């Protein structure tokens, strides 16, 4: 798809690291406009790499990460992800991988 110039939607899910919290955007070139989560977050860098690899691509990043959330929370708000209709979905929950309160209430 990317090689033919067709639109490719990349969505990322996760917490604060995926969102771009505490990354050092000052180290990047100032010629590019900054988004709300900064050019330094890994998701932006990944999509930037994809765009460089596929020169005629039309790749758009949707950073749907929300700091301090769990994968269980994201599942309860998955309609937001479906609305984007991603071609590639990357899930990155490390710190808050599960919600133990759900397990306690389901016993």
- 93: domain CATH number is 3.40.50.1110
Number of domains in the chain: 1
Q: Are 44 and 20 within 8 A, CB to CB?
A: yes
The string of DSSP letters for 53-100 reads HSTT-EEEEEE---TT--HHHHHHTTHHHHHH--SEEEEE-STT---H
What's the predicted TM-score (pTM) here?
0.74
- Residue 28 DSSP class: S
* Distance in angstroms (rounded) separating the CA atoms of residues 64 and 19: 8
Structural domain harbouring 31: 2-105
Greater confidence, 69 or 29? 69
Mean pLDDT to the nearest integer, 5-22: 86
* Distance in angstroms (rounded) separating the CA atoms of residues 79 and 3: 29
Query: What does the pLDDT look like over 24-59, one tens digit per residue?
Result: 655 554 444 444 456 778 899 899 999 999 888 899
29-35 LR contacts (CB < 8 Å, sep 24+): 35/63
Average model confidence (pLDDT) across the chain: 78
User: Which of 2-11, 21-30, 97-106 has the weakest average pLDDT?
Assistant: 97-106
């Amino acid at each position: 798809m990317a090689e033919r110039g067709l639109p490719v939607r990349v969505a990322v899910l996760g917490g604060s690291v995926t969102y771009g919290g505490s990354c050092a955007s000052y180290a990047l070139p100032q010629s590019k406009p900054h988004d709300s989560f900064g050019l330094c977050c890994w998701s932006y860098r990944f999509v930037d790499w994809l765009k460089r690899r596929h020169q005629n691509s039309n790749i758009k990043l949707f950073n749907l990460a929300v700091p301090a959330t769990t994968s269980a929370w994201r599942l309860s708000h998955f309609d937001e992800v479906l609305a984007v209709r991603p071609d590639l979905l990357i899930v990155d929950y490390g710190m808050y991988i599960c919600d133990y309160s759900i397990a306690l209430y389901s016993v």
